[in-house]
Chain A
């Protein structure tokens, strides 16, 4: 099962859990499953975060495929100058 690493602010939905496991073939599916278990978390991840997968930051990861032993790190959106 893909492991999801949450930003501190999103741990308020999971009463402090920093890492949660979640079923899903894409990042979007993982987020949807998390919304079921932790209402509000999915919403926060959709609008306020990018996903770091295998060392790469994706600003819109909805359809990004993930396999069972992937680590997904949710981070605040990154811009540049």
Chain B
């Protein structure tokens, strides 16, 4: 295995083109354990962390640009970003320990394509776009289109993500992310739920609900969105009937597996519970700009 560290996007492009079977990485917090567990090491490992553009976060004229290799802790420590996207920041803040968060990146978390990736539901809920380096240019797609199944993405050979872009949330908008893990840290999510709400006065005018770890990829829940839009919020509280419909919709959207972390029934039940709780937090934040 050979290690290379390009310093520009073009240099990375040509390296990937030159060496089919090479692999890009940033934190490798998933890649190293997989190699250790027997996954064949790639012929060439392309470290993206020396390309400034992939490591920088900018915020100008209503848009955030986040380098794909930026460590999660850069964002969780960015108070402006966390104020605008508390849920997304929470999602990244839950990816493993401090040691892991100083390396794991939004790009890596997305491209590793684990169904339980903690940052992906919130990225989708906030309509984050991924700017992808293609053979000779770039293309931009919604994050939801990247992961296609456990360990599989829609990226072609030689393609890698340069950065993510997300527009500032409209007024009265906020989000929240909750996940269920047996311990309080260091676990892979058994269930993850991201909710984003936009509130006008005390009426929900826009919503997005995305679940993680309950299907081959993160999954949006249209019925839950429908339940939320038009609902009234008084003093940060959504009334129970909406909450029950919301929870049932989330449970119904689950297509989980039994595995060593959780059972099908457990994931369905808890998906409803976490979605209700995340919606309540998001509502409170959206209404009083918390």
A and B in contact, CB less than 8 Å:
no
Give the interface of B toward A (CB within 8 A).
Answer: none
